[in-house]
Structure 1
């Protein structure tokens, strides 16, 4: 061991010795026809040469430099950069007195992000101006709802005191988004070995869509809290605002519900693979400091199984052959005829609501209910017949509506207030059942079918608000090998970032686009765990983030070079193992790779 340390130390010292002479860059860049073009550094041009990171700030201002997502409002950017000291960043504000801890977390994160831009090989040149960030918000209220305004104004200027960044916003969430943009206007210059910021800029920015989310399924495979937080960190970097936690399913019940301890004791894969109330609260706090709501989902009446073994409240649990009773093993559905079902649900809802800090919306799942599963229970059949019902599909839809009404009543009781409820598209969201059993003033419908499914227009015509997760563009588990048979999985092919970027809400919703809150990329995890998580999500989700924030008129081609920069930022600053999109040569030779 001692010999290895000596060898490592010798090698490192040799590397540092070489770095001072040989690690200086050989190439600079010039802006030519809106592209950053590579030029060899010489003694004549070295003093005026521009690094790639600096060139990207100014070249092709229609693309708004390095910003992702691109701003939606007024943008004015100067032609100068100024050297700043990453050790001299100060914040000035009289705001955030109600919950100061969240602003402290946001500012600490901002400072840490700037230090991650520094080269690890050697120290940057000393000196540089102070960065003074002045923040004013209209309200200290930290409540986050679908009506919360997330816009901001950012103005950067330079004087003798330093570089001043002035942020004005209505609330914490807008101010936090401004910090994200400000961070992207600060770069490391590898020619001069210093940190530079844009010297003059004015930005007025707000998102086009209110709901911009990622769904992560943590039932089919378990994900550590660290991997969840890493995902949320990436979301913050591209201004997504909702982490949809599909925390339980028929495969496992990893959520600890203290009033119903059997659920996780029998339902988790192991004692180490549970989410305690403290874990949930930690994730919620972490996300809130990054401008992100954590949306809990308890999917029912289908998608239940493991954890419910001793309760005698389910039908067709783990029935075989499973394809006769559900879409994926193991099967399982709650039995709506049993009153105790609703008592257990109330306990689950109460504890979820408490530990998720009383969320402004709640997801009740409601997809893939199987009539054949319910119809396999003789006791449930007898209950329905005793009520004067038959055993036709319409009767089972009535049973489903009965369940939904009772479950919603218990949710409202546990929550002490009524919040918007999200349901997946299903047979229940088709006519005539949509009008019979669901209220468009209470329910938001999340579509997962194809974007051109006629059901979409029917739902919108009936006045429902919508969240889009069309599987042909936003299911990120598609395009891999099948896991229950040979060939590819059911929703193949693989969906590239380009298709995600061009997945427009106007195309899906048409004239009803104002009823679309936004969209959500879904990662179902039959074939994913925390070790493959990052590459499944990133940087593809960034494409959706810009579509929802900016909704640019241009397609993906205009964003291609910035996407490469965005991917590099996710890796370097976010620590994400984002999928590589192109050779690095394409990043350094902008415009020379596209056909």
Structure 2
């Protein structure tokens, strides 16, 4: 079937004489085979990407669609200088739609090799955009990201129609449409797949990347480039872990000393304008920006003059925390909760999120127990100085922090916490309401806590470190040897990390997943290679939950890596280019 499609597909393009060409590609058994061209060859000649577009059910699309897919049988020449977008209905999302159109045209231009000018021949392209709910421009966990795409040809033009339930679905449709345009290096032409019909929507509503900008600072340009790449593979959540014990680069107006003392330098601060720019940039690309203020642990720098922390820079650090510098908030101080309200209020103003991450990671009993003030408070409340007692102290903090968060955001938005002793399934329902809290799992995918939390009805986001911690597999930065979560995690393992398989009968409680890049050993210079193209493997897993393993996706995975590089992303190479040109041979 696919061989027939490839043969037919080239009939609308210009013939090239055999003497001008050394290689051609032929589709055989769902693989594009690099074949020596000869003067005796009378078959239509396919370029490599033209062959790949038809040699397989999903062509070059990434992530693969989840609904009906028909890529037709033909490629047609187009003139990318004559691409026009027409929006059927306006509404509150009109400006976003206009900017998404600019991005779409820019993506088409990036398909052209640098220094090449395609022939300005071919049909014009008209894209009709039908947004069913043009007034929706806010994110939510139940937003509709579905779309349909049709491409038809007339005697004088190519007509594409994208219908979406919201701006976010329409935007995804434009992303898919951009992937159906290829550069034909044999004929120096831009080609588009015609007679296309696709219906598509994601399996999971939450598809994210976490970036820690506190251990090391990342430039705004690096963050925006990450969001661009996320949009290309339909990831929809940029989780911004913006503060930690090492630095406090979030600009605070009400508590300026936190930033002044906590930033690495005055030039390494995320200002209100910076954040607004990132949030707007991401929204146009269908990506929410989710802020996290991790507490009560993972605080330190910036809090020096407040008197609200304990065990800050305590030594030996291994006795009090998992990495230097140590530091935790003192839950017994009422003034602390005024600070939290101010932090939450400024995050609400800057990010305007639909969900909020409250951290809750790696809280140390030993740190709290080092404070005589905390010990006395617990004794006065008749709490033992043991694990059960410190859980009550933590609950005291979380209850008051939750109240301040709802007040600051002026709504009861969903709250996220990392897995911890507070979220242990044996006791979690004593402290955390399953209708209020989402639990983000960072332990392994086989951790019994996952099943236990699901059985109690808690919604989960999977970031199991054994598949989704992208900082793993490098040299240790405290001591010698490799870092704690080694070895390096290849894209194959990322791709096969199925939330549905982990959750079993409770898969409906899985909101999605997230790759985490903790930045003890990463910054703007290494960012692209740490994330890409592995995050693309995550994107397809969360969008489609494919039943096939990584091997079936390998040819498309190699192509999406090439596509990211064309976009300017310095994605790691996965295999020699020979493998890309010789499918199923590596």
Q: TM-score range by the shorter chain?
A: over 0.9
Aligned length: 566
Please list, as runs of the form range in 1=range in 2, the aligned pairs for 1:242-281 lying within 5 A after superposition. 242-281=237-276
Q: Is 2:223 aligned against 1:228?
A: yes
Looking at structure 2, the residues matched to 488 and 192 of structure 1 have their Cα atoms a distance apart, in angstroms, of 50
Name the SS of the counterpart of 1:312 in structure 2.
Answer: coil
Q: Is 2:572 aligned against 1:586?
A: no
- Contact 2:295-2:358 within 8 A present in 1 as well: yes
Name the SS of the counterpart of 1:299 in structure 2.
Answer: strand
- Residue 432 of structure 1 and its aligned partner are, at CA, apart by 4.2
Task: Give the match for residue 6 of structure 1.
Answer: none
- Contact 2:425-2:456 within 8 A present in 1 as well: no
Please list, as runs of the form range in 1=range in 2, the aligned pairs for 1:176-195 lying within 5 A after superposition. 176-195=171-190
Please list, as runs of the form range in 1=range in 2, the aligned pairs for 1:131-170 lying within 5 A after superposition. 131-140=125-134, 141-170=136-165
Please list, as runs of the form range in 1=range in 2, the aligned pairs for 1:542-561 lying within 5 A after superposition. 542-561=536-555
Looking at structure 1, the residues matched to 286 and 501 of structure 2 have their Cα atoms a distance apart, in angstroms, of 28
- Residue 433 of structure 1 and its aligned partner are, at CA, apart by 3.3
- Contact 2:52-2:60 within 8 A present in 1 as well: yes
- Residue 118 of structure 1 and its aligned partner are, at CA, apart by 1.8
Task: Give the match for residue 125 of structure 1.
Answer: 119
Q: Is 2:79 aligned against 1:85?
A: yes
Task: Give the match for residue 17 of structure 1.
Answer: none
- Residue 60 of structure 1 and its aligned partner are, at CA, apart by 1.9
Looking at structure 1, the residues matched to 585 and 376 of structure 2 have their Cα atoms a distance apart, in angstroms, of 70
- Contact 1:209-1:548 within 8 A present in 2 as well: yes
Kindly provide the CA deviation profile for residues 491-529 of structure 1, in whole angstroms up to 9, marking residues without a partner as x: 011110001111111221121111000000000011111
- Residue 100 of structure 1 and its aligned partner are, at CA, apart by 2.2
Q: Which one of the candidate residues 79, 87, 112 is aligned to 2:106?
A: 112
Task: Give the match for residue 307 of structure 1.
Answer: 302
Name the SS of the counterpart of 2:140 in structure 1.
Answer: coil
Greater shift in the superposed pair: 451-460 or 182-191: 451-460
Task: Give the match for residue 30 of structure 2.
Answer: 34
- Contact 1:96-1:172 within 8 A present in 2 as well: no
Looking at structure 2, the residues matched to 563 and 497 of structure 1 have their Cα atoms a distance apart, in angstroms, of 9
- Residue 45 of structure 1 and its aligned partner are, at CA, apart by 4.6
Please list, as runs of the form range in 1=range in 2, the aligned pairs for 1:555-570 lying within 5 A after superposition. 555-570=549-564
Looking at structure 1, the residues matched to 444 and 226 of structure 2 have their Cα atoms a distance apart, in angstroms, of 26
- CA-based RMSD: 1.2
Q: Which one of the candidate residues 328, 332, 336 is aligned to 2:331?
A: 336
Task: Give the match for residue 314 of structure 2.
Answer: 319
- Residue 26 of structure 1 and its aligned partner are, at CA, apart by 3.0
- Residue 458 of structure 1 and its aligned partner are, at CA, apart by 1.1
Name the SS of the counterpart of 1:296 in structure 2.
Answer: strand
Name the SS of the counterpart of 1:55 in structure 2.
Answer: helix
Name the SS of the counterpart of 1:364 in structure 2.
Answer: strand
Kindly provide the CA deviation profile for residues 531-569 of structure 1, in whole angstroms up to 9, marking residues without a partner as x: 111111100111111111111110001001111001000
Change (3 A) 1:336 1:85: same
- Contact 2:213-2:519 within 8 A present in 1 as well: yes
Looking at structure 2, the residues matched to 76 and 124 of structure 1 have their Cα atoms a distance apart, in angstroms, of 27
Greater shift in the superposed pair: 270-279 or 47-56: 47-56
Change (3 A) 1:119 1:392: closer
Q: Which one of the candidate residues 467, 484, 490 is aligned to 2:461?
A: 467
Greater shift in the superposed pair: 500-509 or 489-498: 500-509
Change (3 A) 1:43 1:92: farther
Q: Is 2:517 aligned against 1:523?
A: yes
Kindly provide the CA deviation profile for residues 285-326 of structure 1, in whole angstroms up to 9, marking residues without a partner as x: 010001010000000000000000000000000100000000
Task: Give the match for residue 448 of structure 2.
Answer: 454
Kindly provide the CA deviation profile for residues 44-64 of structure 1, in whole angstroms up to 9, marking residues without a partner as x: 558831101110111122xx1
Structure 2 length-normalised TM: 0.95
- Contact 1:477-1:536 within 8 A present in 2 as well: yes
Kindly provide the CA deviation profile for residues 445-500 of structure 1, in whole angstroms up to 9, marking residues without a partner as x: 00000011111111111110000000000001111111101111100111100011
Looking at structure 1, the residues matched to 371 and 113 of structure 2 have their Cα atoms a distance apart, in angstroms, of 65
- Residue 368 of structure 1 and its aligned partner are, at CA, apart by 0.4
Q: Is 2:498 aligned against 1:498?
A: no
Name the SS of the counterpart of 1:412 in structure 2.
Answer: helix
- Contact 2:446-2:502 within 8 A present in 1 as well: yes
Looking at structure 2, the residues matched to 281 and 517 of structure 1 have their Cα atoms a distance apart, in angstroms, of 26
Q: Is 2:568 aligned against 1:575?
A: yes
Change (3 A) 1:46 1:475: farther
Kindly provide the CA deviation profile for residues 396-440 of structure 1, in whole angstroms up to 9, marking residues without a partner as x: 100000100000100111111101101000010114431211100
Q: Is 2:352 aligned against 1:348?
A: no
Looking at structure 2, the residues matched to 286 and 25 of structure 1 have their Cα atoms a distance apart, in angstroms, of 44
Structure 1 length-normalised TM: 0.94
- Contact 1:25-1:190 within 8 A present in 2 as well: no
Name the SS of the counterpart of 2:81 in structure 1.
Answer: strand
Name the SS of the counterpart of 2:376 in structure 1.
Answer: helix
- Contact 1:422-1:444 within 8 A present in 2 as well: yes
Looking at structure 1, the residues matched to 144 and 558 of structure 2 have their Cα atoms a distance apart, in angstroms, of 29
Kindly provide the CA deviation profile for residues 381-406 of structure 1, in whole angstroms up to 9, marking residues without a partner as x: 11222223221221110000010000
Looking at structure 2, the residues matched to 334 and 325 of structure 1 have their Cα atoms a distance apart, in angstroms, of 13
- Contact 1:253-1:264 within 8 A present in 2 as well: yes
- Contact 2:500-2:545 within 8 A present in 1 as well: no
